[in-house]
Structure 1
């Protein structure tokens, strides 16, 4: 069996790591195509080196652009790659423009498509990720669902026959790296200057268009973070830096200390050392949950509804609306409730390879 994996953004590279490792122990051929959707070294190169992922077999180097331009470039660049490789499966990951372009290019060439992390829904059609994941699910031939909730969504949409519950590959890599960090096998994370790694601090990321594109909205969120009693390690995505500069918003104010995005092991270590997390990232919400740190999500909804149970994740779409309660929510201690294992047992990648092999034409 030959499988082509299409990746292009940081979350996909993290998911690719356990998949590549699972393929390495089999006779199957695994071809990695990097679209270059994230071309910043902090969001791409460090993940290949830090997670032990084989170098991409193909690098398309599409770079940035509007959603339409970027998706179109990826689609055009993938067509000849798939035509040459003729794989048994094209495996696409998550909900980015690379995901949608990979699915469309493959189905147009009658190549079976498998969607990893299928069935997630925020039910917020303002999010480009929501369009990407819904369109990909309905185009794909095999839907690799991470949770029972995702299976329910796919069943409701009439896609049950194409669905397989495999668990979440992010659990595979997150728990492996967590244990390695605890054993001291990774260096201490490069936290922003002014953050005491031994003192209480919060980890924060912001990058979604709904939070960064409106100057008033972004200024309000920065002000909310700056006013917290605990220092905030703001790991600034290039998108956030660009929008803040365009809008004349100073990020380093109050208790905010601005730093660069961290390699995955560094991020895991930073979260483990933190008091909690404040983010709009789907992946970081789940990583906080897996690592036992309370998360405050700056969105009105989440795809990872399991994280909300027991108070581990709290949705705060507008910190200003909470008033004084904002600080109490954002700096709350970890709840004493059990988290359970809704995302699987850490062996999802092995099941993905097994299901692909069983269902290969």
Structure 2
């Protein structure tokens, strides 16, 4: 069976790579887990390995933080010799973080087939670094694993070959369903003095929201207004903590330390409302049937708007407060997208192994589609 390198670098990657690794290993493939070290502190890293039962990485690149250019360069130079040593049959990258783009680029230049999990997601917002990462990673990839029909449609519109595109479902939901029972059994609510259905949960971490103190002050003010109706709990991301010290925290907004995966799922599942700028939380709340307000001007996950519980509310404080009041009074109905059924990892493994096992196939450089202007 082939050797396959799976790459993870940041917290969202861990939840996405686990179902793929499990499915590949259950089919006999040799899987090498490479952790780039893009997230490196225990609160954002080690606890997720423990919660998910994810085995320690086989290789840890230790690249750390820095500017986009610095971090990309560190991952490129650290991953290249590892790839040459391992000589895998394929590299699987997940999501849209810096590590995803950098490792896909190294593999593509080395002529190693690349599989991209969460391919085809588009926000059309080029101010988001993640959008650049998504588009370029897809361009470098041989196999494009789309989580939803809109992602597959985006790829077809951009000129990718039909045999590259695989509609597989959502690996985040695989992990959610596999761990939901353990999460609901945790004492996260008790430890934080919360009662199910009697609080809102908020997250803020995107640079566009937290690096600009005026923007952050407006969002925090809106959360404070929502907190007049019910307490708002905000696990504080490292990026956000220093900025909050400058803008202040209104009454009713409760700051708590970053939560591990199981604790955070428990907090989401029992919340009456979630307010977030995270992509993955838009998906998890959809699967859980919890109303979600996305505090961004665009989303790369529009299926959560049309077939989920998510509302793209923007960043205007008055609109956030008004929409929150409306949703609390009249929550949206629960809807779940097709193939968000807990078996996306299995579909990815089957497609990847079939590709690698084919007696004849396009060379990697030929398999990548031709980009067109939409």
Could you tell me the TM-score, scaled by structure 1's length?
0.93
Q: Contact 2:94–2:117 (CA<8 Å) still a contact in 1?
A: yes
1:352 aligned residue (348, 352, 370): 348
Instruction: State the 1:331 CA deviation.
Output: 3.5
Equivalent position of 2:274 in the other structure: 277
- CA gap 1:191/1:249 in 2 versus in 1, 3 angstroms: farther
Q: Which has the higher contact order (CA 8 A, sep 6+)?
A: 2
CA distance in 1 between partners of 2:291 and 2:191 (Å): 21
Where do residues 58-77 of structure 1 align in structure 2 (5 Å cutoff)?
58-77=59-78
Equivalent position of 1:267 in the other structure: 264
CA distance in 1 between partners of 2:141 and 2:321 (Å): 46
2:211 aligned residue (197, 208, 213): 213
Instruction: State the 1:191 CA deviation.
Output: 7.3
Instruction: State the 1:319 CA deviation.
Output: 3.3
Q: Contact 2:9–2:37 (CA<8 Å) still a contact in 1?
A: yes
Contiguous gaps of at least 5 residues in structure 2? 358-374
Instruction: State the 1:307 CA deviation.
Output: 1.4
Where do residues 158-173 of structure 1 align in structure 2 (5 Å cutoff)?
158-161=159-162, 162-173=164-175
Instruction: State the 1:315 CA deviation.
Output: 1.3
CA distance in 1 between partners of 2:255 and 2:157 (Å): 43
Where do residues 4-43 of structure 1 align in structure 2 (5 Å cutoff)?
4-43=5-44
CA distance in 1 between partners of 2:37 and 2:241 (Å): 20
Instruction: State the 1:321 CA deviation.
Output: 4.1
Instruction: State the 1:92 CA deviation.
Output: 0.4
Equivalent position of 1:334 in the other structure: 331
Equivalent position of 2:290 in the other structure: 293
CA distance in 2 between partners of 1:190 and 1:82 (Å): 43
* Pairwise CA RMSD: 1.8
Where do residues 1-361 of structure 1 align in structure 2 (5 Å cutoff)?
1-161=2-162, 162-182=164-184, 184=185, 187-189=186-188, 193=192, 195-198=193-196, 200-228=198-226, 229-245=229-245, 248-250=246-248, 252-309=249-306, 312-322=309-319, 325-329=322-326, 331-335=328-332, 337-360=333-356
Instruction: State the 1:341 CA deviation.
Output: 2.9
- CA gap 1:311/1:7 in 2 versus in 1, 3 angstroms: closer
Q: Describe the SS at the equivalent of 2:63.
A: coil
Q: Contact 1:226–1:254 (CA<8 Å) still a contact in 2?
A: yes
CA distance in 1 between partners of 2:328 and 2:242 (Å): 28
Provide, for residues 110-139 of structure 1, a one-character-per-residue CA deviation record: whole Å limited to 9, x for no partner: 111110000000110000000000000011
Could you tell me the TM-score, scaled by structure 2's length?
0.90
Instruction: State the 1:334 CA deviation.
Output: 2.8
Matched residue count: 353
CA distance in 2 between partners of 1:333 and 1:216 (Å): 31
Contiguous gaps of at least 5 residues in structure 1? none
CA distance in 2 between partners of 1:125 and 1:9 (Å): 21
Q: Contact 2:189–2:196 (CA<8 Å) still a contact in 1?
A: no
Q: Contact 2:6–2:21 (CA<8 Å) still a contact in 1?
A: no
CA distance in 2 between partners of 1:47 and 1:11 (Å): 9
